[in-house]
């Protein structure tokens, strides 16, 4: 019993603490109060019900009254069936001789029926018509309009908070240090980026140390990087580390259906930040309002451009903007207006890159610190197996591994769970129930075996790690996983040629075994053609065209390529580009054919083993691939035999 009382006291105290925390959070973050919304709904519904009751009372007859025509009323008078009438303007209420009530409307000036009523001894009562009926009649007629206005006010309150007309008020949330659990320790993988951002926090904590040297803090910093690299996470870490007010908003919050709202919200946001200076404003997805002005089919001065103009003015306009640091994030820096990126506005452009192998290992440590891991977990191996993964991918990887372990009923997460989760992230979920005929399964096995043998033998190709012919949810019927031994930042021509040869090896294996081709190499062709095209028009790797760049990496940021495309090169150059691309692809195709012809028996053995077990990796895969060899006279330097 005492234990129950203690539990109840603790539970009540916990509930009180949670209520207090919710109130503090609402005041801190300026979230709309849902209770006010329910109160508004109740008031509107109550007003509608009251109006209907009022209408029923004033203008409708009681339920037991029979409304008759004026002609019928005169007929009843002549018949002597009426015992009592009450005349009120043009409204006549009466009672029949045998009981029952009626109501009718007639001209007030008509008195033709009165003498006959008096002769019959009918009780007659007069009441003066109330002038207020005109008011209520007008009120009832305006009721639909009032209801529409009330609904509009209610919707505006839901959209804008408690004030129905505060369209121009900033939607930025104030985040104090106490309400952000993320710190710089949670951001790993790119230490140099973290050091640059920490400088701002240090300046805000100890500005005198910089001011005595004559240094000024940058007015703005923009974080640029691919999606998932941690730009928003880094801003949350700044909010958790900085001891100044931190205003967080998104670029889309400034754009509304009403003209001038975006510019007004920008002014309001900077006013709040200046009142609490020094402070930080963080704008996520800056490209939503920061795109180049005057672009597009119509150009013009639209609402988005007004918002951008106001932002430019507030950041570095006529009036000095002191004590407010602007932090922004975007993954589309190519579409931003140049005026945003000049010194005095966004002084620093910080690129948040894709993490290297060491960075991926550090990120995995962050995302696995709260998970129960088996002793066989090797984060270094996982980091090597995940080239190109960004922070969001690695977080998803760790979570997928934990989910897989839980689905299997395990108490800890093992290495094979991570291996399987990597395959799920790269290739998709296994579709073991997909019905594939034995003939198609055999063709898929030869296709993937061709990739694996070429990838194993070519000196500049990435080593083969795994082969699978199990269909995946992304549409792939099989895949060959190749992993680089080390991070590469420059790619040579021989490496690109070996990659092209490996891509074309699947189609080549089908040709050798079946003397016909299938549609399974579509994705390989897309990748190989793109690589060959870039070699010719961008990388200057064509002997005939020489070291020139004919490519066009980015088109117009608002118009489709079909609209802005123009003939930048002569027909002769375009024709030569096509011939060089074809020459590279066909050369790699011939190399793949020569190597696979030389290793036809190994190709068959690998395909048969793959059909039996469906997946090959590790020693079992290496044992078969070690039997393959390059043709005699093959030159690794040139790739020619």
| Residues with a known catalytic role | 448
DSSP, res 55: H
- Provide φ and ψ at 250, rounded to 5°: -125, 155
Contact 361/379 with Cβ under 8 angstroms?
yes
Among the listed residues 402, 459, 509, the one whose alpha carbon sits nearest the alpha carbon of residue 630:
459
Rg (CA), the chain: 39
How many C-beta neighbours within 10 Å does residue 103 have? 17
Instruction: Give the N- to C-terminal CA distance of the chain in Å, as an integer.
Output: 89
Among the listed residues 406, 211, 119, 168, the one whose alpha carbon sits nearest the alpha carbon of residue 307:
168
In a 10 Å sphere around its CB, with 0-12 CB exposed, 13-18 middle and 19+ buried, how is residue 291 labelled? buried
Among the listed residues 461, 500, 519, the one whose alpha carbon sits nearest the alpha carbon of residue 581:
500
Please give the Cα distance from 106 to 127 (Å, whole number): 15
**Torsion angle, alpha carbons of 4, 6, 12, 16, to 10:** -160
Among the listed residues 158, 55, 65, 153, the one whose alpha carbon sits nearest the alpha carbon of residue 104:
65
Q: How far is CA 459 from CA 489, 502, 590, in A?
A: 18, 11, 17
Tokens of 291: 């795109």
- Provide long-range contacts, Cβ within 8 A and 24+ apart, for 268-273: 268/168, 268/169, 268/170, 269/170, 269/172, 270/314, 270/321, 270/324, 272/170, 272/172, 272/174, 272/247, 273/245, 273/247, 273/324
- Provide φ and ψ at 546, rounded to 5°: 80, -175
In a 10 Å sphere around its CB, with 0-12 CB exposed, 13-18 middle and 19+ buried, how is residue 329 labelled? buried
DSSP, res 162: S
Please give the Cα distance from 123 to 266 (Å, whole number): 76
In a 10 Å sphere around its CB, with 0-12 CB exposed, 13-18 middle and 19+ buried, how is residue 405 labelled? buried
Q: Residue 602: CB partners within 8 Å, gap ≥ 6?
A: 453, 624, 625, 627, 628
Q: Where are the beta strands (DSSP E) in 30-90?
A: 65-67, 82-88
Among the listed residues 355, 363, 372, 374, the one whose alpha carbon sits nearest the alpha carbon of residue 396:
363
Please give the Cα distance from 242 to 204 (Å, whole number): 7
Strand pairing report for 173-175 and 123-127: unpaired
The enclosing H or E element of 224 equals strand 220-224
């Amino acid at each position: 019993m005492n234990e129950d009382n203690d539990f109840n006291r603790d539970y009540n105290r916990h509930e009180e603490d949670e209520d207090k925390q919710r109130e503090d959070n609402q005041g801190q973050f300026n979230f709309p109060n849902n209770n006010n919304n329910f109160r508004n709904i109740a008031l509107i519904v109550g007003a509608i019900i009251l109006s209907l009751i009022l209408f029923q009372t004033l203008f409708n007859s009681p339920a037991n009254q029979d409304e008759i025509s004026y002609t019928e009323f005169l007929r009843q008078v002549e018949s002597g069936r009426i015992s009592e009438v009450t005349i009120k303007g043009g409204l006549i209420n009466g009672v029949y001789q045998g009981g029952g009530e009626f109501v009718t409307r007639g001209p007030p000036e008509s008195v033709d029926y009165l003498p006959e009523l008096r002769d019959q001894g009918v009780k007659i009562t007069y009441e003066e018509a109330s002038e207020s009926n005109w008011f209520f009649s007008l009120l009832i007629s305006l009721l639909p309009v009032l209801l529409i206005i009330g609904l509009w006010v209610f919707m505006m309150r839901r959209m804008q908070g408690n004030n129905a007309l505060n369209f121009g008020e900033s939607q930025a949330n104030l985040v104090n240090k106490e309400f952000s659990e993320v710190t710089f320790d949670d951001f790993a993988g790119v230490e140099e980026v973290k050091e640059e951002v920490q400088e701002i926090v240090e300046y805000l904590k100890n500005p005198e140390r910089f001011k005595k040297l004559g240094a000024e803090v940058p007015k703005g910093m923009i974080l640029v990087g691919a999606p998932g690299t941690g730009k928003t996470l880094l801003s949350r870490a700044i909010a958790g580390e900085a001891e100044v007010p931190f205003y967080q908003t998104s670029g889309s919050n400034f754009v509304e259906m009403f003209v001038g709202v975006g510019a007004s919200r920008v002014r309001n946001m900077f006013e709040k930040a200046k009142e609490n200076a020094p402070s930080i404003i963080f704008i996520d997805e800056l490209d939503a309002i920061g795109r180049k002005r005057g672009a597009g089919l119509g150009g013009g001065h639209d609402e988005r451009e007004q918002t951008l103009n106001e932002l430019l003015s507030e950041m570095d306009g006529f009036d000095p903007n002191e004590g407010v640091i602007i932090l922004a994030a975007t993954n589309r820096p190519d579409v931003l207006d140049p005026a945003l990126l000049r010194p005095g506005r966004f002084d620093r452009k910080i690129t948040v890159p894709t993490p290297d192998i060491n960075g991926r290992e550090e990120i995995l440590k962050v995302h696995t610190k709260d998970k129960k891991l088996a002793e066989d977990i090797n984060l270094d191996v996982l980091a090597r197996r995940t080239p190109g993964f960004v922070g969001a991918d690695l977080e998803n990887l760790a979570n997928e591994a934990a989910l897989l372990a839980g689905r299997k009923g395990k108490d800890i997460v093992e290495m094979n769970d991570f291996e399987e989760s990597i395959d799920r992230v790269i290739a998709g979920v296994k579709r073991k129930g997909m019905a594939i005929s034995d003939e198609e399964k055999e063709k898929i096995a030869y296709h993937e075996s061709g990739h694996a043998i070429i990838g194993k033998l070519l000196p500049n190709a990435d080593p083969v790690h795994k082969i699978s012919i199990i269909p995946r949810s992304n549409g792939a019927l099989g895949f060959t996983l190749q992993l680089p031994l080390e991070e590469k930042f420059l790619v040579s021509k021989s490496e690109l040629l070996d990659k092209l040869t490996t891509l074309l090896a699947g189609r080549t294996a089908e040709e050798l075994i079946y003397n016909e081709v299938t549609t399974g190499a579509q994705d390989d062709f897309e990748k190989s053609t793109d690589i060959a095209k870039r070699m010719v028009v961008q990388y200057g790797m064509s002997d005939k065209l020489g070291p020139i760049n004919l490519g066009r990496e980015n088109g117009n940021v608002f118009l489709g390529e079909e609209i802005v495309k123009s003939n930048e090169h002569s027909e002769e150059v375009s024709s030569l580009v096509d011939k060089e691309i074809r020459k590279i692809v066909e050369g790699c195709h011939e190399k793949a054919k020569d190597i696979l012809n030389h290793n036809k028996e190994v190709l068959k053995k690998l395909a048969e083993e793959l059909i039996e077990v469906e997946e090959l990796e590790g020693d079992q895969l290496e044992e078969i691939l070690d039997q393959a060899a390059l043709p005699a006279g093959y030159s690794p330097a040139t790739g020619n035999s």
